[in-house]
Structure 1
Amino acid sequence: MKTINKWLSSLALLLASCVALAAGEPMLVVGHKNPDTDAIISAIAVADLKAKMGVAAVPIAQGLPNPETRFVLETFQLKAPAVQTSVAGREVFLIDHSDYPLAPDDLKKAEVVGLVDHHKLGGITTDKPIEVWVFPVGSSGTIITRMYDAAGVPIPKAIAGGMASAILSDTQILKSPTTTPEDRVTVTRLAKLAGIEDVQAYGMKMFEAGNAELKSAPAKDLLQRDFKAFVMNGKKVGVAQLEAVSLAMLTPRKDELLKAMADLKGQGYQSVFLMLTDIMQGGSDFLFLPDDAAIVESALGVKAQGSSVWIPGLVSRKKQVIPGLEKAFR
C-alpha cells in the first residue's frame, strides 16, 4: 500500500507540473540559496529583460535580502523578489549558480530553460537545449549587461544601479582577483546610467551598510549569510564568507562563529570553512573545521594549526579557495 501511495503521489505531482507548464505561467528567475546582492539583483534584471523581450518572467529568491542587498534595493527603489523555494512544474532560469545543492530543492521537477553564471560549472543537467550565458568575469551583473546589449534593450536607471552594485559587491570594489577589465568598464558605464558619481565612495558606503549587523546578529545567521554547500568527491563541504571593512568587527566573535561551524558540521558536513575577509587589508582570517587538517594545507598551501590562519591576499572563494579544495578532496 505504501508503494502504491508513493507512486500515486509522484503521479499527482507530475500531473500538476504538466498543468503548470501548460497553463503558461511566467518563467521563474532565481538565484542561489543564501542569496547575495548579485543573485537577487541579477534575478530582477533578467526578469525585466525577458519581460521586455515578450517572455513572461518574474524574479524570486530563495531567502530574504541581506543588509547589503537591502541597502542597494532601497537606494535604487527596487522591489525585493518574493521568497519562493519551490519551483516544481515551472520553467526556471537560473542565476549565479549551476549546482544542485545551491538550487531550489525540487529543481529536478522543473524545466530549466536558461542559465547565467560566472562560477565553475556545477552538476545541473537538462533534457533539452537551454540558453546559457557563462563567462569568467567578476559578477553575473557584467554578463547580464551583455544580454541587454545583445537584445538591444536599454538598461533602466534603477537596474543599472543595482547591477553596478552587484559587480562592486562581488569584486570587493574591483579589488578581487576575479575582477576583469570588462567588469571595470561595465561598472563605469552602469554607474553613469544610475547617477553614481563616485564608484569607490559608493562601494564603501554599500559595504558599510552590509557590515551594520556584524556585531549583533547571531553567529549562526552570520555563517549562513553567504554560505555555499558543495559535494566534493562524494563529501558534503560548506564554505562561507563574511566580508568586512575591518576585521575588528569580527575578530571578537571568532569563538562564536567556530561554535556555529561545529553545529553545522554536525548536520552531515565533512568539512566547514569560513573566510573572514578584510577588504581594506586584502586578506582573510580562514577558519576551518575539516575531518582532516591536511586538507587545508593541501588546498591553500598553508600550515594548519588550531582552527584558523591569517592568509594575506586570500579574498576570493570562487577563484582562490574552491578550486584548491576540490583538488585536495580528489
Structure 2
Amino acid sequence: MSEVYVIGHKSPDTDTVCSAIVYAALKGYTPARPGELNEETAYVLDYFKVPAPVLLENAAGKKLVLVDHNEPAQVVNGGDQAEIIEVIDHHKMNFVCNKPIYVHVEPVGSTATVIAKQYMDKIKTNPTWAGLLLAAILSDTVIFKSPTTTDEDKAIAAELAKVAGIADVQAFGIDIKKAKASIKGKPIADVIHVDFKDFDFGGKKVGIGQTELVDINEAYDRKDEIVNYLNELKANKGYAMVVFIATDIIKEGSELYFAGDPAMMEKAFGVKPEGPSFWLQGCMSRKKQVAPPLEKAFTS
C-alpha cells in the first residue's frame, strides 16, 4: 500500500497541524504540512516535544487525508492531481469527489474536537495526543471566546486536559495565544499570510487573512503598511476582495482592513466604511463571522 499523508490547509495553523499529527498516528499514516509553522504552532509542538510533520509542498500523485479544510483553493499544491481518500473537517462543505470516500464533518469549534470525540478511548492512553488536541481546540476557539465554540468543545477540552495533565486550561490557552500575539518587527507580508485562506464566492476570488493580538494598537500603528499590501495583493493576484482581520483577543473584537469595493463590505457587515478599515465589536471568527456574510454579499 502506498504511503498516505494527512495534511491540512495552506498557511497551516495549530488545529490543522495538531489534528494531522494525531489523526496520522491513530491511523498509521504520515502527518504532513503544506507550509511553514507559525510561532503559535511551533510553541505547541515544542511544549509537547513533538517533531513537525513532513513538509509536503506538492502532493501530485500522493494519497491524502484532508483535515481542517475541504475548499479546493485551500488544498496543498498538486492536490488536484492527488487521490483524496478522506476528509475530516469542521467547516462548510465545498468539495467534489468522483468516487465515494469517507467524509466526517461536524459543526464544532475545531477539527481536533471531531477527532477527539471519535477516538477518545485511544487518546486517553496518550497524554501527548491529548495535549496536542487540547491546544488545537483552545487555538481555534480563541480560548472558548469565538462564537464557533460549542459545549462539546468545552467538554472534550476538559477531558483532554485531565489526560494531558494541564491543570489550568485558561492559562495554557493564553500562553499558546501569546506565542504569536505580536506583529512588532515582522514583515507585513508574513503578518497577513500567517493565517490566510482563499475562497471562491460566486466565481470571485476572495482572500481573507487573520491574526490575533493582545493589543490592537500594534495593527493601528501599521495601518498604512497593511492597506498598501492588501491593495498590492488585489492588483497582482486576481482577487475581487482581500480582507485582513486583526483580532484583539482581550477586547473581543476585530479591525477589518480591506482592499476592494467598500459597498460590498457595507452589504456584508452593515457598516459603511469611512476608510479602508473599520472596527467590528464581537468579531472573533473568520469562519463564522466574516467569510459567510462576504459570501452572501458576493452571491446575492
Q: Flag whether TM exceeds 0.5 (same fold).
A: yes
Distance in 2, matches of 1:259 and 1:192, equals 46
Partner of 2:226: 257
What TM-score do you get using the length of structure 2 for normalisation? 0.96
Pairwise mapping of residues 13-32 of structure 1 onto structure 2 (< 5 A)? 24-32=1-9
Once residues 216 and 80 of structure 2 are traced to their aligned partners in structure 1, the CA distance between those partners, rounded to angstroms, is 40
| Alignment partners' CA distance in 1, 2:241 and 2:224 | 17
**TM-align CA RMSD:** 1.1
Alignment equivalent of 2:112, drawn from 124, 141, 158 = 141
Distance apart, 1:217 and its partner CA: 1.0
| Deviation >3 Å, runs of 4+ | none
Are 1:182 and 2:152 an aligned pair? yes
Please tell me whether residue 314 in structure 1 is matched to residue 283 in structure 2: yes
Q: Could you tell me which of 27, 30, 51 is aligned with 1:79?
A: 51
2-structure distance, mates of 1:107, 1:316: 26
Identity score, percent:
43
User: SS of the residue aligned with 1:210?
Assistant: coil
Number of residue pairs matched?
297
Output the CA distance in 2 between the equivalents of 1:208 and 1:154: 27
Max Rg structure:
1
Work out whether residues 67 and 211 of structure 1, in 8 Å CA contact, stay in contact via their aligned partners in 2: no
In structure 1, distance between residues paired with 2:174 and 2:76: 32
Query: What are the Cα deviations for residues 103-125 of structure 1, in whole angstroms up to 9, with x where unaligned?
Result: 02221211111011111112x32
Shift of 1:132: 1.2
Match 1:40 to one of 17, 31, 46: 17
Range 253-262 or range 163-172, more displaced: 253-262
**Corresponding residue for 1:224?**
193
Gaps of 5+ in 2: none
For residues 167-206 of structure 1, the aligned pairs below 5 Å read 167-206=137-176
SS in 2 for 1:250: helix
1:131 to 2:108 alignment: no
User: Structure 2 residue aligned with 1:95, among 67, 80, 93?
Assistant: 67
**In 2: Cα distance, 1:154 partner to 1:168 partner:** 17
SS at match of 2:200: strand
Alignment map for 1:208-287 (pairs within 5 Å): 208-212=178-182, 214-266=183-235, 267-287=237-257
Distance 1:208 1:105 in 2: 30
Alignment TM-score, normalising by the size of structure 1 = 0.88
User: Where does structure 1 lack aligned partners over 5 or more consecutive residues?
Assistant: 1-23, 52-56
Q: Which moved more, 1:85-94 or 1:316-325?
A: 85-94
